[in-house]
Amino acid sequence: MSEHQFLQELEKKLWTSANKLLPSLDAAVYKHVVLGMVFLKYVSDSFETRRQELISAFKDPNNDYFLGEDADEAFVNEQLETRDFYTEKNVFWIPQAARWDYLRSNIRLSLGSPLSLGGEFKGAGKLLDDTMELIEKENPKLKRILNKNYATLQIEQSKLADLLDLIATIPFTHNSLKAKDILGHVYEYFLGEFASAEGKKGGQFYTPKSIVNLMVEMIEPYKGRVYDPAMGSGGFFISSEKFIEEHSGAINDLSIFGQESNPTTWRLAAMNMAIRGLDFDFGKEPADTFTNDQHPDLKADFILANPPFNQDEWWDASLEGDARWKYGTPAKGNGNYAWIQHFIHHLAPNGTAGFVLAKGSLTSNTNGEGDIRKALIEANLVDCIVNLPAKLFLNTQIPASIWFVKRNRERSNILFIDARNTGHLISRKTKEFSKDDIEQIASTYHNWKRDKDYEDIKGFCRSVTCKEVAELNYVLTPGRYVGLEDTEDEFDFKERFASLSTTLKEQMAEEQNLNERILANLAKIKVDDE
């Protein structure tokens, strides 16, 4: 069975079965119940895998861990409980009362029954909470990350036990996939399904995989510090890891920094990293990126982000005169240009940032945004703009684009790519990029950067001088330059409404001014009485 078939069958089985178990739960609650158990399964299996490695090593005369010919079972078991043997391999230490086998053997006991390691059974939810608490206590890196409210949820205890049994069926045997890859895939799949089920709210922390993959392929984060200050569930970091693996790099060459304001989403991201054994720094706590920057001194080599589109409630009085507003104070009612300047502020001297924004950010002239965009272009920071097709996002139909900005650019031209005619429908409402689409867009960017085999393609891509951009009033819409006109159905209503309202007010003010001038001139005219 191929990898694709294997994973598809696994997805279908898990999602269908889980929905049968918990049909009445809201997706926003359900995801934490399921993903918490998936994480528990992963750390437990990682622990058991390392345990079996140690058993073999203890018996091998050629291994540094060899315990000697006379080592009895009791001594071997004692050594197997040595914490350092696990942590030295970045395996979380799991105490006996939190191990998977212990959990499964006790989770269906009757209330009040004695637990095998002491104490009494107070319900499946309480047992799960105690398990998570123990794991957090023994592994400081997981502090405040794990979900510990199973007992308070309105879920039948038998359903929790059934769900645990379902998670236990996740197989770890495939000829080309590692256990962490399988668990990681399951985790990502559930995140996507929950985002779809939750609609707009769920989509806030989930960036479609094909967009993530495209941006990572374009920015190529091989080595250095990668940062996402609107990280959601951490999809860009996972894709960066995969990119490095596919190009025979070393993941340890990449340092991961992120920030997220939503506490539950912050935990999801941390679990997402831990499942893959990635080292990360998400700050001391979940926090607002603008008012409580968790990495104030960070200068990143790569920034990958999908911040909230047209964020209207981002401003705080404390942000007045902030050092990040080097190119102009952003509009208080729209966070687009605040995010852009935050990214630039955190870029290393030769760093590159790729980020998704509403398409309206390419043309907006309201509230000084046009002046900021002009300043960015004149500072030679804008490297490439990619116009995205509609229906890529689960939670919004707002047209979107990808910006790439870079410090210390060697060229002054800007590359415009209009990718609206790429992608294919995977459902009535949703599109995604194929591997060929990603290759076409990414290779166009790379060839242009390297001055190798690049050529303008009418309707798709064009390298444009900043002088020409200036002549078009610093508008960054790719269609204006590549020869593919914008369609009328692809516009940001909020942005268009604000722009038209501003234009109307200006025209009304001009009308009043003209009327006053006409009246003044009429007053100067003397008409002789006959």
d(CA 67, CA 61): 8
Q: In this structure, are 180 and 279 located in the same domain?
A: no
CATH number of the domain encompassing residue 81: 1.20.1260.30
Within 308-434, residue ranges assigned H as helices are 336-345, 369-378
The first and second tokens of residue 239, run together, are 């894709």
For residues 472 and 222, which has the higher predicted lDDT (pLDDT)? 472
d(CA 530, CA 528): 6
Integer angstrom CA distances of residue 506 from 40, 331, 514, 516, 517: 60, 18, 12, 15, 16
pTM: predicted TM-score of the whole model, two decimal places: 0.79
The answer to whether residue 194 sits within a structural domain is: no
Structural domain for 37, as ranges: 3-189
The answer to whether residue 425 sits within a structural domain is: yes
Taking only the tens place, the pLDDT of each residue in 363-419 is: 999 899 999 999 999 999 999 999 999 888 766 678 899 999 999 998 999 999 999
The answer to whether residue 64 sits within a structural domain is: yes
Q: In this structure, are 268 and 377 located in the same domain?
A: yes
Q: In this structure, are 408 and 459 located in the same domain?
A: yes
Q: Domain boundary at 189, 220, 243, which?
A: 189
Which whole number is the average pLDDT over 93-110? 94
Q: Domain boundary at 156, 189, 222, which?
A: 189
Q: In this structure, are 27 and 98 located in the same domain?
A: yes
CATH number of the domain encompassing residue 288: 3.40.50.150
Q: In this structure, are 228 and 90 located in the same domain?
A: no
The answer to whether residue 498 sits within a structural domain is: yes
Q: In this structure, are 424 and 457 located in the same domain?
A: yes
Q: In this structure, are 216 and 161 located in the same domain?
A: no
The answer to whether residue 487 sits within a structural domain is: no
Taking only the tens place, the pLDDT of each residue in 279-330 is: 899 999 999 999 999 999 999 999 999 999 899 999 999 999 999 999 999 9
The answer to whether residue 512 sits within a structural domain is: yes
Q: Residue 108's closest CA among 179, 61, 161?
A: 161
Q: In this structure, are 257 and 157 located in the same domain?
A: no
Integer angstrom CA distances of residue 339 from 227, 306, 330, 342: 13, 10, 9, 5
Our count of domains for the chain comes to 3
The answer to whether residue 16 sits within a structural domain is: yes
Question: 10 Å Cβ neighbour count for 241?
Answer: 22
Q: In this structure, are 215 and 181 located in the same domain?
A: no
Q: In this structure, are 57 and 167 located in the same domain?
A: yes
User: Please, what is the average pLDDT of the chain?
Assistant: 86
Q: In this structure, are 177 and 236 located in the same domain?
A: no
d(CA 357, CA 513): 38
The answer to whether residue 49 sits within a structural domain is: yes
Residue 86 has pLDDT above 50, yes or no: yes
Helix axes 157-167, 27-59, angle to 10 degrees: 50
What type of residue is 13?
K
Backbone angles phi, psi at 106, to 5 degrees: -115, -10
